[in-house]
Amino acid sequence: MSKYEIIAFDLDGTLSDPAHGLLDGFVYAFKKIGVDYGERESLRRFIGPPLAEEWQRAFGFTAEEAERAVELFREYYNVYGWWDNTLYVGITELLADLKKAGKTIVLSTSKPQDTAEDILRLHKLYGYFDFISGHDYVARLREKKWEVLEYALENLGIDHSPEARAKCVLVGDRMYDAEGAEKCGIDSIGVLWGHGSLEELESAGFTHVVKTVGELEKILL
């Protein structure tokens, strides 16, 4: 039996593939503000991390310019993009097996909480989750992965003792997930069906790296 009792999942690139809708939203925003973004496919690197922070770094935006770009992105994404989202094969079965085994299942995503909840409902996954933690876009709270993760753990009553944190794990597909898990003092599992390369996942320091949902289930059950 796995030592993990509290299992937190990232959303984009881990449970479902949001790429088409997200890329359309990125392109919409950059065209609106006249930014040369290069090739459309190159924008995949922005799937996962907080957008404003990454766009400041990538395009030299001021904080205000980055926020404006994010607002334009959401103008498109909140209407047309969020449902252009594909569930990865085997995820529903995995969550059902974890729930049957008595695991506590958490969503920890930098995506706005209301959008994340809509996507879970779209794929009929909402009922599997014991707690959902996302970015509070209105109040500008919980944007970084460690913040949404720590918020979930605190609400579940998980204290900071090594014994309590050893029972927790975060499953994600980008280096930001490994960094967030480490900051919160828990293990992490990197999945290779998402948007992070093997090189990224290995260098990020994930506790485990898996290629398939079947490999992931063996670690979690």
Average pLDDT of every residue of the chain:
94
Model confidence band, residue 142 (pLDDT cutoffs 50, 70, 90) = confident
Q: Where in the chain is the domain with CATH 1.10.150.240?
A: 19-81
Q: Where in the chain is the domain with CATH 3.40.50.1000?
A: 6-17+86-220
Per-residue pLDDT tens over the stretch 170-200: 999 999 999 999 999 999 999 999 999 999 9
Q: What is the pLDDT of residue 136?
A: 80
The CA–CA distances, whole Å, from 131 to 22, 83, 139, 154 equal 25, 22, 20, 11
Per-residue pLDDT tens over the stretch 2-60: 999 999 999 999 999 999 999 999 999 999 999 999 999 999 999 878 888 899 999 99
Q: What is the pLDDT of residue 182?
A: 98
**Ramachandran angles phi, psi of 90, nearest 5°:** 95, -10
CB 160 within 8 A of CB 185: yes
Q: What CATH number has the domain spanning 6-17+86-220?
A: 3.40.50.1000
Whole-structure pTM value: 0.91
pLDDT of 138 above 80: no
Q: In a 3-state reduction of DSSP, which class is residue 145?
A: helix
Pick the CATH number of 19-81 from 1.10.340.30, 3.30.1050.10, 1.10.20.10, 1.10.150.240: 1.10.150.240
> Residues with Cβ < 8 Å from 73, sequence gap 6 or more?
25, 26, 28, 29, 51
